């Protein structure tokens, strides 16, 4: 399977990224994959490879490129609960600096780079995000409704906030089909209801689903949160979504 470590020119510098492409040449739909808070690492590179094996060209950018190449902080091979709080404490200032303006500037650069690749077929692309990446995926889709045909977010954060530019307030701009897969406790029932009402009012084709018995981070096999059955369920939701939205047009 062809893979590359590459750089993408953005208005704020050069972002390093990982990309994976299907075997056999030809052109295939593009997918922009946003990482969780821990960033680009073997776990996410493996996720990109698996998506590529299903026929997608996948780009995984380093969200924190302004602070250096990935990983911007040393990560253990397994992110256990004994080290997770310290890692989050180190990364939180970087997350807080990743403002909506930065997210949208980066998204435009990532999508332009992805769709300009010769391996990527014309037509809609998908955007997939994990943890904070789910909010980035929704923001990207609302900013590029003519391009993004599918959005998926898993164990999301920051989708419903009190901020005037909270992602849920922008869903009327969505034209993509959406799936949000949540761990128990990712959102309060009130916030999930707020998100559902916003999507319904906007006429967005969507599903939101709490994956039973899961905790935040359930798709990530390099963490204590990992749940193998929930990861399989994630694929059962993600792959049909991408096929419907990206390959049947």
Residue 215's CB: how many other CB atoms inside 10 A? 17
- As a whole number of Å, the CA-based R_g of the chain is 17
Nearest-angstrom CA–CA distance, 181 and 43:
19
What is the number of residues in the chain?
A: 249
Are 94 and 67 in contact by the 8 Å Cβ rule? The answer is yes
Q: Which two tokens stand for residue 131?
A: 């943890």
DSSP state of 183: E
Spell out the per-residue pLDDT of the chain, length 249, in tens. Answer: 899 999 999 999 999 999 999 999 899 999 999 999 999 999 999 999 999 999 999 999 999 999 999 999 999 999 999 999 999 999 999 999 999 999 999 999 999 999 999 999 999 999 999 999 999 999 999 999 999 999 999 999 999 999 999 999 999 999 999 999 999 999 999 999 999 999 999 999 999 999 999 999 999 999 999 999 999 999 999 999 999 999 865
Q: Which tokens sit at 197?
A: 């009402």
């Amino acid at each position: 399977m062809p893979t590359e470590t590459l750089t993408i020119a953005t208005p704020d510098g050069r972002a390093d990224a990982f990309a994976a492409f299907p075997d056999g040449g030809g052109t295939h739909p593009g997918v922009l994959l946003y990482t969780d808070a821990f960033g680009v690492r073997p776990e996410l590179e493996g996720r990109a490879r698996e998506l590529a094996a299903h026929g997608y060209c996948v780009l995984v950018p380093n969200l924190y490129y302004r602070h250096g190449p990935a990983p911007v902080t040393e990560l253990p091979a397994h992110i256990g609960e004994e080290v997770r709080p310290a890692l989050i404490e180190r990364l939180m200032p970087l997350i807080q600096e990743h403002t909506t303006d930065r997210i949208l500037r980066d998204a435009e650069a990532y999508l332009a780079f992805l769709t300009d690749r010769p391996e990527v077929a014309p037509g809609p692309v998908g955007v997939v995000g994990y943890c904070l990446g789910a909010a980035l995926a929704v923001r990207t889709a609302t900013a590029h409704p003519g391009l993004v045909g599918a959005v998926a977010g898993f164990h999301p954060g920051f989708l419903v906030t009190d901020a005037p530019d909270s992602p849920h307030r922008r869903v009327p701009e969505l034209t993509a089909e959406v799936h949000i897969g949540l761990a128990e406790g990712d959102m309060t029932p009130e916030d999930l209801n707020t998100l559902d009402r916003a999507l319904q009012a906007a006429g967005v084709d969507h599903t939101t689903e709490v994956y039973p018995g899961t905790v935040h981070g359930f798709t990530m096999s390099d963490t204590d949160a990992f749940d193998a059955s929930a990861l399989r369920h994630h694929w059962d939701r993600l792959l049909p979504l991408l096929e419907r939205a990206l390959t049947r047009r």
